[in-house]
Amino acid sequence: PGWVRTEASMRSLGRMAEQGGVSEPALLEDMVGAQALPGLMEPADMAGTYLFLASDLAANITGQSLGVDRGEVPW
C-alpha cells in the first residue's frame, strides 16, 4: 500500500527527514502532495481491500497488483 499512518511508517518518515535534512512536517507535506487524494491513510482504510481479497468476490483474481495508495505519484 501507499503510506499508512502506523508507528513504523512514522519512524521511517523521521529517518527519511533526518537523512534528507528536512523537517518531518515538510517531508510529509511533499509526500501527501504527490497523491491524487489528500491525506495519509489510516490502518482501517486498508480493511475493505483485505476483506475483498479474502472473500469469494475475489475468487477469480490471481497474480495482480492492486494499488491502494490514494493515487500516489512516485517521486
* Nearest by Cα to 24 from 5, 41, 37: 5
**Number of compact structural domains in the chain:** 1
Q: What are phi and psi of 8, to 5 degrees?
A: -65, -45
**Does the residue 1 lie in any domain?**
no
Percent of the chain clearing pLDDT 70 (strictly above): 99
Percent of the chain clearing pLDDT 90 (strictly above): 71
Q: What's the pLDDT score for residue 25?
A: 94
**Does the residue 47 lie in any domain?**
yes
Q: What is the C-alpha to C-alpha distance for residues 66 and 58, in angstroms, rounded to an integer?
A: 12
Cell numbers linked to 47 = 480493511
Fill in the amino acid letter for 29: E
Fill in the amino acid letter for 46: M
**Does the residue 67 lie in any domain?**
no
**Does the residue 46 lie in any domain?**
yes
Span 30-38, average pLDDT: 89
pLDDT digits (tens, 9 = 90+) for 14-31: 999 999 999 999 999 998
Q: Write out the residue range of the structural domain in which residue 14 sits.
A: 7-58
**Does the residue 31 lie in any domain?**
yes
**Does the residue 23 lie in any domain?**
yes
Of the ranges 32-36, 55-59, 71-75, which one carries the lowest mean pLDDT score?
71-75
Does position 53 have pLDDT exceeding 70, yes or no?
A: yes
